[in-house]
Amino acid sequence: MQSYEFEARVAEVKCRAHGRWTEILGALGVDEKILNKRNQPCPLCGGTDRFQYTDKFGEGNYHCRGCGAGGGLKLLQGIKGWDFGTVLKRIEERVGRVVPLPIRSNEPSPDGMKKLAKRIWNEAKRISEGDEVDRYLRNRGLILTEYPKVLRFHPALGYYDRDAEGKSRKIAEYPAMLACVQGADSGVITLHRTYLKDGRKAFERDAKKVLSAGINGAAVRLFDAADELAIAEGIETALAIHLSTGKPVWSAISAGNMAKLWLPVTVRRVCIYADNDANMEYDGQARAFELARRLKKEQRTSGPRQVEVFVPKHAGTDWADIWRSRVDNVREAA
C-alpha cells in the first residue's frame, strides 16, 4: 500500500474512533480494570502505580511515569501484542472504514483538470439578482448585497456519473453554483459545484461535487482574511456565519479537509464553526477540534493565536440552520 494511502487510513481510523476509545478498547479485550482511570501498574512496563488511563483528549490517552504517554493505538498494540497493521484492522472492524475508489485510467491529468476547471469557470457568470444561484441562496435565507467573487453562476453545467465500467458519462445539465477552491499560494486548485433546480439543490444526493480530489487544506476564500478569520465546513454555512457575525469566513468544503486547512500567519484569531454531527459520528466536531489543536501546536512557529471552536447546541444542526431559523422568525413576525 502506498504511504499516503496508509496515512489516510490511519487518519480516518483516528477520526472515527475519537471519543469512543474506552468502548473500543473494552470490546477488543482490554481489561476494564486498566480503563478505570485509577493509578495502577503499567500493563506495558510493570511497576506499581505509575500508569493511569485518562482518555483526556478522546484518543484513548494514557500516561506512565515509566514508559511515557500514548494513545489507544499504542496501548492496544502493547497489551495485545499485535503489530500495527493488525491493530488498525481490528479497530476498523469496530468503527468502519471508508474504502477509496480506485483511480480510473480515464481520469484527466492534473494539467487537463486545470484546463477543464478554467473552461468551466470562464463559461460561468458573476451572480446577479434573480439568477438560479441568487434564488437558491435567498431560499436558504442568505441574502447578500454583493456576492463573493469566488462564487459564480453556470447556466447549464453537465452532471456526470460513472457507469458500471467506471467510465464517466454525462447524465444531464443543470444550473450550478461554482466555487473557486484556492491553495496556500492562492492558486486555483479545483472547483466546487452545487447543482440546482428551481432555486433549490437539484437532488439531495450528490448535488454537491468537487471537480477533482486532493484539495489537501485548500479552501473557498469567500472573504479576504484579516486579523480575525472564521472557518466553516460548507459554503452556505460560511455565508450564514458572515451574515450573523460580520466576520470574514472561509469554507473548508468538508470536515476531513477542515483538519488540514492552511491559514495565513497574519491571522491572529481563528473562530472555527463546527457542524453538530452528534446524531452521526461526531465528524464535524472532531475535525474542528483537530484543526484547533493543530493551530495551537503550530504557535511555536506561527506565533500566539487565539483559537475558539463553536458548536450548535442541537444534534444534526449547523450554523446555516440556525441562521435560517432566525430569518424565518423575523419573516413570521413581520
Q: Is the pTM above the cut of 0.75?
A: no
Residues 58-69: tens digit of each pLDDT: 889 999 998 999
The CATH number of 3-95 is: 3.90.580
Integer Cα distance of 139 and 201 in angstroms = 11
Residue 63 CA, distance from chain mean position: 30
Q: Where are the domains of the chain?
A: 3-95, 108-212, 216-334
Query: How many other CB atoms are found less than 10 A from the CB of residue 126?
Result: 12
Beta strands in the chain (DSSP E): 40-42, 46-53, 62-64, 68-70, 125-126, 151-162, 168-182, 188-197, 200-201, 208-210, 220-221, 228-232, 249-251, 269-273, 306-310
Q: What is the DSSP string of 272-331?
A: EE----TTTTSHHHHHHHHHHHHHHHTHHHH---EEEEE--SSTT--HHHHHHHHHHHHH
10-residue mean pLDDT profile of the chain (334 residues): values are 61 81 92 93 92 90 91 92 91 72 47 84 94 95 93 93 76 93 88 93 82 86 95 96 96 92 92 86 89 89 87 89 86 72
Query: How many other CB atoms are found less than 10 A from the CB of residue 306?
Result: 12
CB 21 within 8 A of CB 72: yes
Residues 122-180: tens digit of each pLDDT: 999 999 999 999 999 999 999 998 999 999 999 999 988 877 777 778 888 999 999 99
CATH 3.40.1360.10 fits 216-334, yes or no: yes
